[in-house]
Amino acid sequence: MSSLNLDDFSDLIERPDGGVRRDAEARRERQIVPPGSLGRLDELGEWLAAAQSAVPVRPIGQPRVVLFAGDHGVAELGVSARPAGSAGQLVRDVLEGGRPVSVLARRLGVPVRVVDLALDCDPETLPDEVVRHRVRRGSGRIDIEDALTPEEAEAAFRAGMAVADEEADSGTDLVVLGDVSVGGTTPAGVLVAALCGTDASVVTGRGGLAIDDLAWMRKCAAIRDALRRARPVLGEQLQLLATVGGADLTAMTGFLLQSAVRKTPVILDGVVAAACALVAQRIAFRAPDWWLAAHDSGEPGQAKALDRMALEPLLAHGVTVGEGAGALLALPLVQAAAALAAELPEKPEETEKPEESAAAEVSGEPEVSGEPAKEETE
């Protein structure tokens, strides 16, 4: 199907440095606060040290929010609370500072990058740096047609890889990954159901704006129909993304894999990021060691995917808005873990007394020296 050999990722991706992680654990044992008393912060600090291959762990100096954007043809079925083709307006709102992720990023001092892969809008309405990776205008309606052609799927995957390289080359040391899409949770549900071997109803959630029961049933039916189209291509991950994914999801998958190659840690946002991570895990089983699950959004598909990858969410605030907002909430927690791991002082070394002196103190007998002990006189 493609000149892109996905099997290469299994060879290129290494696990975070296990030796460094053991060194970080040993350092934690020596710090003044007992190990385990900081809960998951201990684990996060050690994970980050292994990812950086550095003890003590370095502060997170250049985090960035990266959002992949696209419209999905399946939204025409009324599976989303937003109108089909309206993701472009969401992107403009993000760029103008009017979305939750924009507010949080501004408060935390983290730059936001939006990458358009398949928005259904005139590219001239958005900045050049946003639209330069666009593959097509909207992805296909996956219940009845492929989301992408094989050529578009490869172009989207390579675009995601290129973005990962750009971020690594620019010094980004932690990525907060999310999506800006309309209808994106439907293909995400299809990917999770297909890869986990489950039914549509098990993975169908209500999306960011909590669709009503009728819309949920339409969404469930769309996932069911798309699943029939997905199952014959389960063995070919790029073809699976072309069939029932979309340009933005395909690019996110490429981004996750190439970020693992470049040893860039990634915090995953909601169900869309989790679904792409699940596809990426099928391609390279070591890749999830470079990712953190930020939060439990309440989407059943996300929970299914994270469980399959053995990733435990850091937070459970019920944030369903998407756009990387929930993942950005986890960033201060990771930064706090890095600071504690690096800056907590170690316990002072205890001055040990000779065994003879300790025994003498216990028994009350005088210490043995080089001269005979003098007899006591009255």
**CATH architecture type of domain 62-327:** 3-Layer(aba) Sandwich (3.40)
**How confident is the model at residue 84, as a pLDDT?**
92
> Has residue 2 got a pLDDT over 90?
no
Q: Tens of pLDDT along 38-53? A: 999 999 999 999 999 9
Told to judge if 376 belongs to the known catalytic residues of this protein, a careful annotator would answer no
Query: What is the mean pLDDT of the segment spanning 15-34?
Result: 93
> Has residue 361 got a pLDDT over 60?
no
Give the integer Cα–Cα distance in Å for 297 and 150: 32
**How confident is the model at residue 371, as a pLDDT?**
47
Which of 76, 129, 323, 367 is catalytic? The answer is 323
pLDDT above 90 coverage of the chain, percent: 81
- Tokens found for residue 276: 């792409």
Whole-number Cα distances in Å, 246 to 130, 136, 155, 225, 256: 18, 10, 12, 16, 15
**How confident is the model at residue 35, as a pLDDT?**
87
**How confident is the model at residue 60, as a pLDDT?**
94
Q: Tens of pLDDT along 298-349? A: 899 999 999 999 999 999 888 888 889 999 999 999 999 999 999 999 888 7
Nearest CA to 249 out of 114, 356, 374, 139 is that of 139
137, 72 Cβ separation under 8 angstroms: no
> Has residue 360 got a pLDDT over 50?
no
Summary mean pLDDT of the chain? 91
154, 238 Cβ separation under 8 angstroms: yes
Give the integer Cα–Cα distance in Å for 28 and 20: 12
Report which DSSP code applies to 82. S
Give the integer Cα–Cα distance in Å for 332 and 252: 23
**How confident is the model at residue 375, as a pLDDT?**
45
pTM of the model: 0.90
Most confident of 197-211, 262-276, 345-359, 360-374: 262-276
Q: Hey, what's the torsion of the CAs at 179, 183, 185, 187, to 10 degrees?
A: -110
Whole-number Cα distances in Å, 85 to 43, 120, 183, 214, 295: 41, 5, 9, 20, 27
**How confident is the model at residue 81, as a pLDDT?**
86
